[in-house]
């Protein structure tokens, strides 16, 4: 059924973009595709884990046959579609518009996040009136229709990481044009609730990243830095520890698995050993990953009797929890008595990771291909780490400075 749906989306897209205005795809792209297929089989430990080799080869052959009729932006869309066709657990495989391609892509200067109650504008440099409002349509196309067209282009581990990683695709001018959502790459109309439609002009990838840095100093995904709620106030810090509830709760915001957390772990342990401490909360909801070799000391610390008691250790996870952060969360799940609160992880405990770049010399793109398979939960087929207590986070709550996930963690008895 999924493959039939994807085929239908391809047909709709071809019809929608007929008569596009961009330049034709460069000649010789077939050699790019053949190079990618050869490198995919050389690098990836099991490229056909979700789709058969014959099916993937057939998809590539259909694309090669259509090359003479494709515009440059349609080619971009179809290459993204081919990479995403690898399927589940392959969220690290990507040709993300924010990656440094030789072909310069352009993005409209807003960032989005999909909360439980819809897609919201979460950052808009120079246009603060857009922030905190739901995105309703792009160029008159309802956002639900746009998502249906964009989804087959986004590599993911599971549906939650699909939702978490959509943002750059939704605002890339060439992607929207290649899908037929906008008639030109020069401007686009964005409809948000409570305001008249806003016309935006795109900027280059580099300009976009620079403009977004005040909100996203670490990774350009997830929720941006804001004064409230607490999880966002220190979004641009790798690790941060404080106490809540008059000192009775130790709150550890762990945003990246990058820097050595030894000093942080020692501080958590000192705070946990105080007589008045009743709970330790580890917040992984901003954590998109990093280096799995940096956290063993922290993990051992959280396994100590001062922390690892029934009802004492609570871990907050969500759709942005990905890659090395899922490794860490899974190790906590398997090695401690932690209670997990929030929503399931965007990353799968068993997934393909640690990519090598494959340059497409003719078309000017780079595809990152995973070279390692991590199996944190041997024999399990699930695509996510589940929660014990599910608590949705809405945009309405987030922009009001409320955090129902943390509130529920503090209220656990």
Cβ(286)–Cβ(255) under 8 Å?
Answer: yes
- In terms of phi and psi (left: phi > 0; alpha: psi -120 to 50; beta: otherwise), the region of 273 is alpha
Cβ of 201: how many Cβ atoms within 10 Å?
12
Q: What are phi and psi of 27, to 5 degrees?
A: -65, 150
Q: Count the Cβ atoms, other than its own, within 10 Å of residue 339.
A: 19
Partners of 357 in beta bridges? 368
Location of structure tokens 């965007």: 346
Predicted confidence (pLDDT) per residue in 376-412, tens digit: 999 889 999 999 999 999 999 999 999 999 999 999 9
Q: Using omega within 30 degrees of 0 as the cis cutoff, is the peptide bond preceding 229 cis?
A: yes
Closest CA to 90 of 18, 35, 40: 40
Q: How far apart are the first and last CA of the chain?
A: 44
CATH value of 230-348+383-411 in 3.10.180.10, 3.90.226.10, 3.40.50.300, 1.10.599.10: 3.90.226.10
Helical (H) or strand (E) element with 106: strand 106-107
pTM of this structure: 0.92
Q: Could you tell me which residues are beta bridge partners of residue 314?
A: 281, 339
Structure tokens at 223: 């929720």
Parse the chain into domains and list their residue ranges.
2-212, 230-348+383-411
Task: Determine the pLDDT at residue 22.
Answer: 52
- pLDDT, average across residues 176-187: 98
| pLDDT tens by residue, 203-246 | 999 999 999 999 998 888 899 999 999 999 999 999 999 999 99
Q: Which residues fall within 8 angstroms of residue 221, CB to CB, at 6 or more apart?
A: 164, 165, 167, 288, 320
Q: What is the pLDDT of residues 2-38, one digit of tens each?
A: 333 344 334 334 333 333 345 677 789 999 999 999 9
**Cα(203)–Cα(325) distance, integer angstroms:** 31
**Could you tell me which of 68, 167, 99 has the C-alpha nearest to residue 359?**
99
């Amino acid at each position: 059924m999924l493959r039939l749906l994807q085929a239908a989306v391809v047909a709709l897209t071809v019809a929608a973009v007929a008569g596009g205005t961009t330049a034709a795809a460069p000649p010789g792209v077939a050699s790019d595709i053949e190079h990618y297929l050869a490198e995919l089989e050389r690098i990836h430990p099991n490229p056909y884990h979700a789709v058969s080799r014959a099916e993937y080869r057939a998809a590539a052959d259909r694309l090669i046959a259509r090359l003479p009729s494709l515009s440059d932006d349609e080619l971009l869309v179809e290459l993204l579609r081919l990479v995403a066709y690898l399927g589940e657990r392959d969220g690290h495989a990507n040709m993300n518009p924010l990656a440094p391609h030789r072909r310069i892509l352009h993005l409209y200067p807003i960032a989005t996040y999909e909360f439980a109650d819809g897609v919201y504008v979460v950052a808009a440099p120079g246009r603060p009136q857009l922030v905190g409002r739901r995105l309703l349509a792009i160029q008159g196309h309802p956002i639900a229709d746009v998502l249906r067209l964009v989804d087959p282009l986004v590599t993911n581990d599971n549906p939650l990481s699909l939702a978490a990683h959509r943002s750059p695709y939704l605002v890339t001018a060439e992607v929207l044009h290649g899908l037929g959502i906008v008639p030109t790459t020069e401007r686009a109309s964005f409809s948000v609730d409570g305001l008249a439609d806003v016309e935006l002009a795109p900027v280059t990838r580099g300009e976009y990243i620079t403009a977004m840095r005040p909100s996203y100093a670490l990774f350009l995904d997830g929720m941006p830095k804001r004064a409230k709620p607490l999880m966002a106030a220190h979004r641009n810090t790798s690790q941060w520890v404080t106490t809540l509830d008059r000192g009775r709760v130790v709150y550890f915001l762990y945003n990246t698995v990058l820097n050595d957390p030894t000093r942080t772990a020692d501080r958590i342990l000192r705070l946990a050993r105080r007589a008045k401490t009743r709970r330790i909360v580890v917040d992984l909801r901003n954590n998109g990953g990093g280096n799995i070799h940096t956290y063993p000391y922290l993990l051992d610390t959280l396994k100590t009797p001062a922390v690892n008691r029934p009802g004492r250790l609570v871990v907050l996870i969500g759709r942005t929890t990905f890659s090395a952060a899922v490794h860490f969360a899974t190790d906590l799940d398997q090695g401690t008595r932690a209670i997990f609160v929030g929503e399931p992880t965007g990353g799968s405990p068993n997934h393909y990771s640690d990519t090598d770049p494959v340059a497409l010399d003719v078309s000017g793109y780079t595809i990152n291909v995973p070279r390692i398979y991590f199996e944190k939960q041997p024999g399990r087929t699930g695509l996510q780490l589940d929660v014990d207590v599910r608590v949705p986070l809405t945009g309405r709550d987030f922009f009001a400075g409320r955090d129902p996930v943390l509130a529920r963690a503090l209220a656990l008895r």
